[in-house]
Amino acid sequence: MRPDTPADHTTEAERLLRTAGQYPEDREPLLLRAAAHLELAGDRARATALYDDLLSGSEPAEPFLIRALKAANLWEYGHEAEARAIITGVRAARPAEPAPWEIAAETLEAHDELEDAEATFTEAARLLVDPAQEITYALQSLLTGRHRVRRLLALPHDEHDTLADRLHTAAVPLDELHDPKRLWALGSSDPAELQAEITRLRTELGSYRTALSRPFPVAVLHWPEAELDELLAAYPELEAEYPTYRAHLTDIEASLRELAQSGTPNLGIVPATVPSYEAFAASESTSPATPALLPQYTTTLAARGLATPWPPPRTSPCWCGSKETYGDCHGGTKS
């Protein structure tokens, strides 16, 4: 169950901090997730303290991501000058990953600094996007954000906007989704217009879910066949969750495709093992036979950075472990 109230987010942050103590090798992603929950709980000063802790300790794996997140948090509770300085530093460092750029640009956008946001998005696109190479989901998200800001600024389409349009597969085109004039429809008294706008906004929410999910994927659990056999032999109560191994694989792909079609970004698959699941159950003082424990286990593995991004490139090995490519296996049209 996702946390809904400030108290829920505080509780989840505390749980993640305890988990970080148990798994020091995964401290960075766990503290980042805890900081995100503290922000949602309104405890922004404590979130900043976690970002500072990560930056002042041993060399962080993703320092520019941490700095961008810290800047976004600082600006939200009145530290605009410091946030601007951090964003300037991130841009000057020219990170090789899209996430710091996108967070910095979205922070500027959220505070009506549209020209600076567009410049940040554009600098990142020129540095990172090569149309001749496969465009990852993270780069697609970057291009979509850039398209949105340029639409707000009434700038003409360029090659990166065209690429964003081509990559966008939702029912509502980007030009319509990012049309500033459509906001006026929210004041309409026509039920049909209001319903149409609600549909568009629901689609658009997919892009904003990045703020809640980054840098952690929304993950689905994958039990390799031998592990699933061992799990069901030890805990037959879980057979209703996993009737067969083939059905398990089919459900994984179907669930991820459904999430992708709804606009959920940053999807992943986490491999499960019986020993780690039993250890997690013990840490939660819960029986491994409890079906409700499985989503919590999945979330914890994803927070520890153990998820593999989905979908893989069509020419890469399939996530299921077969020797076929993803395009010829679960990535096929009949999957």
Q: Render pLDDT for 6-19 as a digit per residue (tens, 0 to 9).
A: 888 899 899 999 98
Tell me which amino acid residue 241 is: E
What tens digit of pLDDT does each residue of 213-234 get?
445 668 899 999 999 999 999 9
Return d(Cα 149, Cα 61) in angstroms, integer. 30
Return d(Cα 55, Cα 235) in angstroms, integer. 43
pLDDT score, position 210? 46
Q: Please tell me the pTM assigned to this model.
A: 0.63
What tens digit of pLDDT does each residue of 45-88 get?
999 999 999 999 788 989 999 999 999 999 999 999 999 999 99
Return d(Cα 115, Cα 102) in angstroms, integer. 14
Return d(Cα 28, Cα 315) in angstroms, integer. 32
Tell me which amino acid residue 56 is: S
Here the tokens at position 269 are 């698959």
- Domains of the chain plus CATH, in order, are 62-213 (1.25.40), 218-309 (no CATH)
Is residue 202 scored above 80 in pLDDT? no
List Cα–Cα distances, 234 to 58, 206, 239, 327, in angstroms. 41, 39, 11, 34
Return d(Cα 331, Cα 313) in angstroms, integer. 9
pLDDT score, position 209? 46
- Dihedral sign, CA of 174, 180, 183, 188? negative
What tens digit of pLDDT does each residue of 152-164 get?
888 999 999 999 9
Is residue 167 scored above 70 in pLDDT? yes
Return d(Cα 85, Cα 89) in angstroms, integer. 6
- Dihedral sign, CA of 8, 10, 16, 18? negative
Dihedrals phi, psi of 326, to nearest 5 degrees: -60, -40
Q: Is 73 helix (H, G, I), strand (E, B) or coil?
A: helix
- Sequence-ordered list of residues with C-beta below 8 angstroms from that of 207, at least 6 positions apart, any chain: 141, 144, 145, 148, 263, 265
> For residue 269, what are the β-bridge partners?
220, 308
pLDDT score, position 97? 93
List Cα–Cα distances, 279 to 94, 174, 284, in angstroms. 41, 45, 9
pLDDT score, position 187? 56
Return d(Cα 8, Cα 246) in angstroms, integer. 36
What tens digit of pLDDT does each residue of 87-121 get?
999 999 999 999 999 999 999 998 989 999 999 99
